[in-house]
Amino acid sequence: MHEYETVIGLEVHVELLTDTKLFCGCSTAFGAEPNTQVCPICLGLPGGTLPLLNKKAAEFTIKAALALNCEIAPKIAFDRKNYFYADLPKGFQISQYFYPMGRNGYIEFLVNGKTKRVGIHQLHLEEDTGKLSHIGDDIISSPSSRVDFNRAGVPLMEIVSEPDIRSAEEARLFLQKLRSIIRYLDISDCKMEEGSMRCDANISIRPVGSTEFGKKTELKNMNSFRSVYRGIEYEAERQRSVVLSGESVIPETRHWDEAKGVTRAMRSKLVSADYRCFPDPNIPPYPVTEEWIQEIKKTIPELPDERYKRLTEEHDLPSSTAEVLTSSKELADFYDAVLSVHNEPKTVSNWIVSEYLGLLNAAGMDITESKITPAGLGKLLQSIAKGEISGKIGKTVFEEMFNTGEDPALIIEKKGLKQISDTDTLSRIISAVLAANPQSIEDYRKGKKRAMGFLVGQIMKETKGQANPQLVNKLLMEELNK
């Protein structure tokens, strides 16, 4: 009996963060009243449909193609993909069929500590469709349907991977890395839940060692990273059992049912597979010059991979920490910003990864929603380094900062948390504690080292934890060894 491996290729759609649509001046803002962000161009009204290219969208796409190591097409050219559907106002979608903006790129990410490279077959720019809502299950059985054209014409970038992905986990890691790169570029917010990032998967299985591809199914309707993982996992397993039972996989489009945790074959395709693509006669090709590419290159920030390299090599951070920090641009930017106040990579990264992320996770918050500023954390760490407060008190202060957004100095001041580093004061307290605990002194001198800990605890209790621990240790030791 054969062992089977899963072969996956992903098609990812990403809505670009331009202010206006791809071919008209309508707003792309999410969540407006239905059909309020429309015009003759994006509604396909006769006589009013001449498309006016939003150059920003093209620039964003070139930026992404460069970041994904693609070859860039010599011109921006658009084609018509012809089909009929109620959410498609013109009866064709303007897309890039003959000249995708980028080709032959790749993405790299770590799988079990090893670098995995997945090819990018192509990356292209197209317009989004409107949004249908059906009364009932689907458009066929529905007595009526509503269409919102606010989304029609929003610039959409499609990234098509090579079938290089071998597991649901790899698919998830690929998507995470892709999302991270796109967010670094600041060209899309990539929110799967809001639909600004959508992913379809082509899945097949084949005997290990085979170089031919098996019959594939296309899996749709996965609306989160988790459902991409679960959907692929389920579908690959389903195909395995189909093949093992002696049948063959039917090439079809399948729908991921999140609630039931299964994939189902969709009703026969409503849409013809023959799109009759041809160059859109209303859009003259626009040359992509080397100068323009260089200009766009200059706007690309340090990407996750480069940043990871800097953090591990220059800042000497462990790879796991660097990976966490670079996974999101906001987090990595935050780290760098704290460093500019307190230049101690190890300390800063530890605080971010264990304390800050811990608090964020517990609160179910995103870093962008947090009240903590890099300057605030920097100042806090400075206070600890200067011995103004202990690390333990620092954590309390940080929690307070997290909750209120207040300045650390203010919190320390207000709550009287400043560390006691005054030798006279501490000596007085130590004497008092020793006087009250003669038994412990006895124990210590008999060799019970644990008594020392008890005495320190008592001193901290007296000072409400504000005593400088190093100083307490030193003074106490001197006193006991007298």
Residues contributing to the site for another protein (CB under 8 A)? 40, 43-53, 80, 82, 84, 86, 89-92, 139-140, 145, 147, 270, 274, 276, 278, 281-284
Residues in the chain: 482
Sheet holding 4-15, edge to edge: 71-72, 102-111, 114-127, 155-161, 4-15, 197-207, 217-222, 253-257, 262-265
- Return the number of the residue (129 or 328) whose C-beta is nearest another protein: 129
Report the C-alpha gap between 173 and 190 in whole angstroms. 15
Q: Please give the full DSSP string across 215-254, using - where no structure is assigned.
A: --EEEEEE-SHHHHHHHHHHHHHHHHHHHHTT--PPP-EE
Q: Which long-range contacts (CB under 8 A, 24 or more apart) does 260-267 make?
A: 261/230, 261/234, 262/234, 263/217, 263/219, 263/231, 263/234, 263/235, 263/238, 266/220, 267/138, 267/140
What does the DSSP 8-state code read for residue 266? P
Beta strands 278-279 and 71-72 are: unpaired
User: Residue 87 CB, nearest distance to another protein (Å)?
Assistant: 9
- Return the number of the residue (270 or 432) whose C-beta is nearest another protein: 270
User: Residue 55 CB, nearest distance to another protein (Å)?
Assistant: 12
- Return the number of the residue (86 or 293) whose C-beta is nearest another protein: 86
User: In 3D, which of 41, 22, 189, 18 has the Cα closest to residue 96?
Assistant: 22
| Token code pair at residue 325 | 């920090």
In this structure, which amino acid lies at residue 376? G
- Return the number of the residue (219 or 283) whose C-beta is nearest another protein: 283
Q: Which residues contact 452 (CB under 8 A, 6 or more apart)?
A: 444, 476, 477, 480
User: Residue 45 CB, nearest distance to another protein (Å)?
Assistant: 6
- Return the number of the residue (129 or 458) whose C-beta is nearest another protein: 129
User: Residue 283 CB, nearest distance to another protein (Å)?
Assistant: 6
Q: Please give the full DSSP string across 43-61, using - where no structure is assigned.
A: HT-TT-------HHHHHHH
User: In 3D, which of 11, 215, 221 has the Cα closest to residue 120?
Assistant: 11
User: Residue 237 CB, nearest distance to another protein (Å)?
Assistant: 35
- Return the number of the residue (91 or 457) whose C-beta is nearest another protein: 91
Report the C-alpha gap between 343 and 373 in whole angstroms. 16
- Return the number of the residue (37 or 263) whose C-beta is nearest another protein: 37
User: Residue 16 CB, nearest distance to another protein (Å)?
Assistant: 20
User: Residue 248 CB, nearest distance to another protein (Å)?
Assistant: 26
Report the C-alpha gap between 354 and 321 in whole angstroms. 10
User: Residue 32 CB, nearest distance to another protein (Å)?
Assistant: 18
- Return the number of the residue (277 or 341) whose C-beta is nearest another protein: 277
| CA 365 to chain CA centroid, nearest Å | 13
User: Residue 12 CB, nearest distance to another protein (Å)?
Assistant: 27
User: Residue 211 CB, nearest distance to another protein (Å)?
Assistant: 29
Phi and psi angles of residue 156, each rounded to the nearest 5 degrees, phi first: -125, 135
- Return the number of the residue (50 or 365) whose C-beta is nearest another protein: 50
User: Residue 93 CB, nearest distance to another protein (Å)?
Assistant: 10
User: In 3D, which of 174, 249, 266 has the Cα closest to residue 213?
Assistant: 249
Would you say 104 and 90 are in contact if contact means Cβ atoms under 8 Å apart? no
- Return the number of the residue (50 or 385) whose C-beta is nearest another protein: 50
- Return the number of the residue (133 or 282) whose C-beta is nearest another protein: 282
Would you say 30 and 76 are in contact if contact means Cβ atoms under 8 Å apart? no
- Return the number of the residue (17 or 147) whose C-beta is nearest another protein: 147
User: Residue 347 CB, nearest distance to another protein (Å)?
Assistant: 56
C-alpha distances (whole Å) from 162 to each of 180, 190, 253, 326, 352 are 19, 21, 19, 25, 36
